[in-house]
Every structure is written in C-alpha cells, then in structure tokens.
C-alpha cells in the first residue's frame, strides 16, 4: 500500500507543465565545502540540487526520493539539459538507506531529517566525506506559516554524532529562512 507521503508527492509532481526547479540559495554557499566524487541528493524531489550539481564536472550525482513521478520528471529535466545522473526511488522511513553505497558527499536540502536518518547516512559517507543539511528553521514557520514540525529548532543538529565534525553553520537572514549544517565524516 502506498504511503501518504508517496501519494502526496506523486500528486504534486503529476501536475502538467512542470518546470525545471530552481536550486535553493543555500546551495551556492555550500558547494565549496563539497569534495570531488560521488554525491547523493536525499529527498531530491524533481532535482533542483541534483541538476545544479550534475552540471559541475567534479561530481557523479545520484538523486534519491520517495516519488517515482518526481524522479521521472528529474530524469526528463536531466535529459533536456544533457546531464548525466542516476536516480533511486527509496522511502527514507524504510530500510532502503541501509542498501546504499558509499559517497563522498550527501546533501539534504528542504527536508528535515531525523537524527536516526542522519546517523544512518553518516555510515554511507567515506572518511572525510561531507554531509550538508539545509532546511527551513523556526523563523520560516513564524513569518510564513510553514509547518513547525518540518522546521529546525535553533542549533538542533549542533551535536548530532561523534563521527560527524561540524565544519560550518549558516543561518539565513532573509526568506526563505534556513539553517545549513556542513559536517565532515571523521
């Protein structure tokens, strides 16, 4: 039986006239922290982050999402832009993360992961690999009504795991209001 998340996102991405999504502003500031090599975009949707990073020669991009329709749209956008990337249809609440290979970089934008998921993803990073988490904070909730449960608390991931060393923390001062955490696997 399809999960409510799958139904929600497939319904959204099935709408006619979909356009290539715009990458989040926080991505530009995060790119210098990334290492060349394999990169996984978690909860990619239609691929705003994956498409942007696939344009850069130093990354071999894979994009993961629950929505097969979102991934099909991403594959078409990549084809239209003559970009190479791979897609993986995985429910993050299931066991699919356990089957992933190792990556030099894992990016999570516009999705609030659980600490349990962060720890699982940490195991999928190579030594020195980078984990970037950038999602909405409570100011986005207060000023724009975005659901609080999907927003980060102040410094929520400051001490998320012993094998993840914080490299940077960036809190945006303009909308959309996000917190970005950049970690290195040690």
Read off the pLDDT of residues 77-122 as tens digits, 9 standing for 90 and up.
Answer: 999 999 999 999 999 987 889 989 999 999 999 999 999 999 999 9
3-class DSSP state of 71: helix
Residue owning tokens 């629950």: 66
* Residues 75, 51: Cα–Cα separation, whole Å: 9
* Nearest by Cα to 180 from 59, 25, 66, 70: 25
Angle in degrees, CA 158, 21, 60, rounded to 5: 65
Task: Considering the domain delimited by 20-185, tell me its CATH architecture.
Answer: 3-Layer(aba) Sandwich (3.40)
Read off the pLDDT of residues 2-27 as tens digits, 9 standing for 90 and up.
Answer: 688 899 999 989 987 889 999 999 99
Q: What is the mean pLDDT of residues 145-154?
A: 94
């Amino acid at each position: 039986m399809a999960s409510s998340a799958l139904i929600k996102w497939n319904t959204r991405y099935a709408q006619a006239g979909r356009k290539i999504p715009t990458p989040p502003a926080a991505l530009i500031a995060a790119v210098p922290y990334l290492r060349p090599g394999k990169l996984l975009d978690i909860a990619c949707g239609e691929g705003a982050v994956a498409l942007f990073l696939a344009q850069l020669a130093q990354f071999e991009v894979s994009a993961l999402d629950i929505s097969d329709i979102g991934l099909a749209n991403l594959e078409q956008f990549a084809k239209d832009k003559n970009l190479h990337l791979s897609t993986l249809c995985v429910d993050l609440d299931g066991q699919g993360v356990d089957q992933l290979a190792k990556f030099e970089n894992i990016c999570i934008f516009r999705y609030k992961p659980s600490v349990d998921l962060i720890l699982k993803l940490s195991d999928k990073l190579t030594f020195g690999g980078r984990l970037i988490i950038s999602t909405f904070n409570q100011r986005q909730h207060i000023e724009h009504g975005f659901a609080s449960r999907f927003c980060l608390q102040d410094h929520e991931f400051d001490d998320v795991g012993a094998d993840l060393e914080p490299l940077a923390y960036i809190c945006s001062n303009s909308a959309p209001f996000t917190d970005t955490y950049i970690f290195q696997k040690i």
